[in-house]
Amino acid sequence: MTIHIPEDKLAEIRNAADIVEIISERVALKKAGKDHIGLCPFHSEKTPSFTVSSTKQIFHCFGCGVGGDVFNFLIKFDGISFPEAVQTLARRYGIQLPSRQMTPSEKKEISERETLFDINKKVLAYYREQLLSRSGGKKALAYLEGRGFTRETINRFGIGYAPDGWDNLLRFFKKEKISERLAEKTGLIVPRSSKTGYYDRFRNRIMFPIVDVTRQVIAFGGRVLDDSKPKYLNSPETAIYNKSRSLYGLHAAKDKCRENETVYIVEGYFDLLAMHQHGITNSVATLGTSLTSGHVKMLRRGYAKKARLVFDSDTAGIKAALRSIGLFMDESVDVEIIVLPAGEDPDSFLFAHGSDAFFGEADSARGAIEFLIDSAVKTHGLSMQGKIRIVDELKQPLADIRDRVARSIYIRYLSERLGVDESAILDRVRNTGEERSKTVTRSSLSAMPSESSQGPNLVKNRIETRMVTMMLQAPDIVSTIENQRITDYFEDKDLKEIAELILSDPPKSREDISQLLNRTTDDSQRQLIASFVIRDECWDQKSCEKLIEQFLSSRKRRQHLLLDQIKSAEQNNNHELLFKLLKEKQKQVVKPD
Ligand SMILES: [Zn+2]
């Protein structure tokens, strides 16, 4: 790919950036020998095959084949372009990029995201000042303190206030010389329907900045101080804000989530603040939207194996719980449901009863299926009709359970609860499962690629694979390969191209490997290179020479075999075969003995 960011700047970033640090912010990694491993964020798996090498500064998944360096990871994971990945890391490690040498389109690409982050940061400071130092914010601050929130919590979450009126933020943008056209892209101002100018989206609201795991402000949520509607309002999706990949409070919760391997999921902003203020810091909140499979995947791969959903006891809360259970089962996340006493939400409950009482409720949390069964019984009753409805409602979730032992335990529980024969329920569940496997599965509908998405064809010509691996891991041998023109003998097109790419500028260090990775525009070639680099192999002069010898003699054997076959095809007048063999011979460019 053509990049106009100077190579010395890229090298500086490569040197400063640590791939383990960057990836572990997004994926939970464990040390395994020299490397780090975790659950692959790019395909569904239960045992980790996603490997990150800190010595080689490379990642590679042995399951689906994805791989590359730190830039390639960010491009794939965050869905950004190469210049954006460069900029993200440059900012992160305090490296100044000279914009002079970049093309206008690179500048534009980098600057849009950068500008949105910058604007949001300024607006955060503006809202904070309104809350803490302006007369307009007094009632909002009094409201927060009246609900029991401490100054520490308010500061920790950067809570602010959007003053009443239609053009406060607009005037702020004018003062800061931020154009309205740019500011509109943050979603903070909205064009008037008359198309004459803009107005502030958030007015007279308590403002919650939504930050990503690297603590950049990506959006805002606002809550009214009274009973007016809508109670909550969020930024629309923008170039830097993707709702199905954002959870409120994750930046503050992630360390504790990893430590406890458990995450509490609540619904509202105030619920989240109350959880953290009461020391339950492994808590995140959905942002007024329902939980998506993207959220569940993100949590499972990055932060926790177990989720505890805390819901209001009202029917809306229970319905939300019912809807999300399948998402957790799809990702093999243990899920428990905590239903608080009638009329309570986590916020009111914690302030009234404290964290010990909350943990008491949490201890009696029910597993997802038990919860489903109990609420179905509550809804439909145990009349004959009711029982039929219950089995009908539960056959799908029961069929969704992948663990057979768990499934049979739940089926027995249901049969005992209803007084219905176990085998009758089992029959219904089986039929459902079969029907469903004929149609489409939920995980194949989800946003991220599933098990079925395979990486590059990993089964490659074995000896050529070894040769390329050697060229990458033992740079001293590359000149021998070049002098003897050994790559001419390669048969696999991809491997030959990679070998030639190596010859064109042989990599001598891990920085050079990273440069090589970004010289190829072909994703599958890049993944192959990463998979070769990450192998742990030892090369000395002798083993290198031995491999080259093996390679050449195998090529010669094949050539002789081909010549023999051609001869016998000629003798037998088998024209069809002869044509095929001659074509194959053409492909083999072999020097005379
Ligand atoms: Zn994978």
Report the alpha-carbon distance of residue 423 to residue 329 in Å, rounded: 23
- 8 Å CB contact between 210 and 245: no
Report the alpha-carbon distance of residue 117 to residue 96 in Å, rounded: 17
Report the alpha-carbon distance of residue 55 to residue 535 in Å, rounded: 12
Q: Which two tokens stand for residue 109?
A: 């690409």
Q: What is the pLDDT of residues 255-278, one digit of tens each?
A: 999 999 999 999 889 999 999 999
Taking the centre of ligand 1 as the mean of its atom positions, its distance from the CA of residue 127, in whole angstroms, is: 42
Burial class (CB in 10 A: 0-12, 13-18, 19+), 519: middle
Average of per-residue pLDDT across 180-184: 93
Residue 346 confidence (pLDDT) above 80: yes
Report the alpha-carbon distance of residue 289 to residue 243 in Å, rounded: 8
Taking the centre of ligand 1 as the mean of its atom positions, its distance from the CA of residue 182, in whole angstroms, is: 37
DSSP state of 343: T
Nearest-5° Cα angle at 7, 4 to 10: 95
DSSP state of 365: P
Phi, psi of 334 (to 5 degrees): -65, 130
Give the pLDDT score at 445.
Answer: 34
Handedness of CA 25, 29, 30, 35 (dihedral sign): negative
Residue 435: pLDDT band with limits 50, 70, 90? low
Handedness of CA 82, 88, 93, 99 (dihedral sign): positive
Handedness of CA 488, 491, 497, 502 (dihedral sign): negative
Average of per-residue pLDDT across 318-340: 82
DSSP state of 446: S
Residue 355 confidence (pLDDT) above 90: yes
Taking the centre of ligand 1 as the mean of its atom positions, its distance from the CA of residue 3, in whole angstroms, is: 28
Phi, psi of 518 (to 5 degrees): -90, -5
- 8 Å CB contact between 464 and 491: yes
Residue 60: pLDDT band with limits 50, 70, 90? very high
Taking the centre of ligand 1 as the mean of its atom positions, its distance from the CA of residue 64, in whole angstroms, is: 4
Average of per-residue pLDDT across 456-460: 55
Q: Which two tokens stand for residue 256?
A: 């504790």
Q: In what order do the strands lie in the sheet with 58-61?
A: 30-32, 35-38, 50-53, 58-61, 67-68
Residue 441 confidence (pLDDT) above 60: no
Burial class (CB in 10 A: 0-12, 13-18, 19+), 98: exposed
Q: What is the pLDDT of residues 462-490, one digit of tens each?
A: 899 999 999 999 988 999 999 888 888 88
Burial class (CB in 10 A: 0-12, 13-18, 19+), 6: middle
Taking the centre of ligand 1 as the mean of its atom positions, its distance from the CA of residue 585, in whole angstroms, is: 38
Please report, to the nearest 10 degrees, the dihedral formed by the alpha carbons of residues 502, 503, 505, 508 taken in order.
70
Nearest-5° Cα angle at 465, 461 to 467: 125
Report the alpha-carbon distance of residue 278 to residue 356 in Å, rounded: 10
Taking the centre of ligand 1 as the mean of its atom positions, its distance from the CA of residue 22, in whole angstroms, is: 17
Give the pLDDT score at 555.
Answer: 85
DSSP state of 219: E
Q: What is the pLDDT of residues 300-328, one digit of tens each?
A: 989 999 999 997 766 666 777 777 888 88
Taking the centre of ligand 1 as the mean of its atom positions, its distance from the CA of residue 284, in whole angstroms, is: 26
Residue 369: pLDDT band with limits 50, 70, 90? confident
Report the alpha-carbon distance of residue 306 to residue 328 in Å, rounded: 9
Site of tokens 């795991």: 213
Taking the centre of ligand 1 as the mean of its atom positions, its distance from the CA of residue 454, in whole angstroms, is: 8
- 8 Å CB contact between 250 and 211: no
Report the alpha-carbon distance of residue 189 to residue 167 in Å, rounded: 9
Q: Is 311 helix (H, G, I), strand (E, B) or coil?
A: strand
Taking the centre of ligand 1 as the mean of its atom positions, its distance from the CA of residue 50, in whole angstroms, is: 6
Give the contacts of 211 (CB within 8 A, at least 6 positions apart). 158, 217, 218, 251
What residues have a C-beta under 5 A from ligand 1, the ion? 40, 42-43, 61, 63-64
Q: What is the pLDDT of residues 83-105, one digit of tens each?
A: 889 988 988 888 888 766 667 77
Give the pLDDT score at 459.
Answer: 61
Taking the centre of ligand 1 as the mean of its atom positions, its distance from the CA of residue 241, in whole angstroms, is: 25
Site of tokens 């803009």: 198
Q: What is the pTM of this model?
A: 0.77
Q: What is the mean pLDDT of the chain?
A: 87
Give the pLDDT score at 560.
Answer: 84
**Within its chain, how far is the Cα of 213 from the centroid?**
12
Percentage of the residues of the chain whose pLDDT score is greater than 90? 48
